[in-house]
Amino acid sequence: MASASSTKTQKAGEPEAHQRILDAAFAVFTRNGYTQASTLEIATRAKVSKRDLYALVGKKEDMLIACITERATRLKWPQDAPPPRDREALTKALERFGVQLLWEVTDPTVVSIFRLAIAEAERAPEVAHTLDRIGRAASRDALGALLTQAKASGLVRGDTAEMGRRFSALLWGDLMLGLLLCVAERPGERALKQQAHQATEAFMRLYPRVDE
């Protein structure tokens, strides 16, 4: 389901109002919960009328979709990125992807979205479904595209989906669980790079070339 905002032509000044609405919606969602969030409170916080709120973004579900989609676009693999031609290039690409994924998803705003989905799992399962369908799918698709290119070039052998799951498990460990439980702090950029490096090294040892 596409966000209502994607079907509307924005006039001058409307992009700023659109962003205020998304920021306000996210703040209200995380404070009150998705079910209890009211469009009136979101409109008031964004300093727009309810009419403008519906015209620029749409109903509450559209706001949720727009909030998640905005973050998910940062996890897409560049379409113009050259496919890896050797194991060294693949290693660098996986490390780069791993750092990007860790950095974006450990952002406190994104962690709050995951907490919201968990808190609303029974009352509003559409939150978790939207997060999985748009947010998590973006990273799965990006990693899948990279691994598919690598497999086609004979750089790794194995099932692409399984390789993606294994790399993600190596990359994350128990970091996300710790962040969700508030028993871990977001690692710094240097630590995230090291984590991506170690995960990639372990992955490359698990999946050799086709001819090996």
For the chain, list the domains and their CATH numbers: 6-58 (1.10.10.60), 71-206 (1.10.357.10)
d(CA 203, CA 186): 23
Q: By C-alpha distance, which of 106, 71, 70, 84 is closest to 193? A: 106
Encoding tokens for residue 48? 């727009």
Encoding tokens for residue 9? 């032509």
Angle, in degrees to the nearest 10, between helices 189-206 and 87-105:
140
Model confidence, pTM = 0.82
Average pLDDT, the chain: 89
Is the pLDDT confidence value at 185 over 90?
yes
pLDDT bin (cut points 50, 70, 90) of residue 8 is: very low
Alpha-carbon dihedral of residues 184, 190, 192, 195, nearest 10 degrees?
-110
Q: By C-alpha distance, which of 25, 160, 141, 3 is closest to 69? A: 3
pLDDT at 6: 40
Is the pLDDT confidence value at 55 over 60?
yes
pLDDT at 72: 83
Phi, psi of 123 (to 5 degrees): -75, -35
Is the pLDDT confidence value at 116 over 60?
yes
pLDDT digits (tens, 9 = 90+) for 146-159: 999 999 999 999 99
pLDDT at 204: 97
Is the pLDDT confidence value at 4 over 80?
no
pLDDT bin (cut points 50, 70, 90) of residue 90 is: very high
pLDDT bin (cut points 50, 70, 90) of residue 69 is: confident
Within the chain, residue ranges assigned H as helices are 14-32, 39-46, 50-56, 60-72, 87-105, 108-119, 126-130, 137-152, 160-172, 175-180, 189-206
Is the pLDDT confidence value at 92 over 90?
yes
pLDDT bin (cut points 50, 70, 90) of residue 14 is: confident
Is the pLDDT confidence value at 24 over 90?
yes
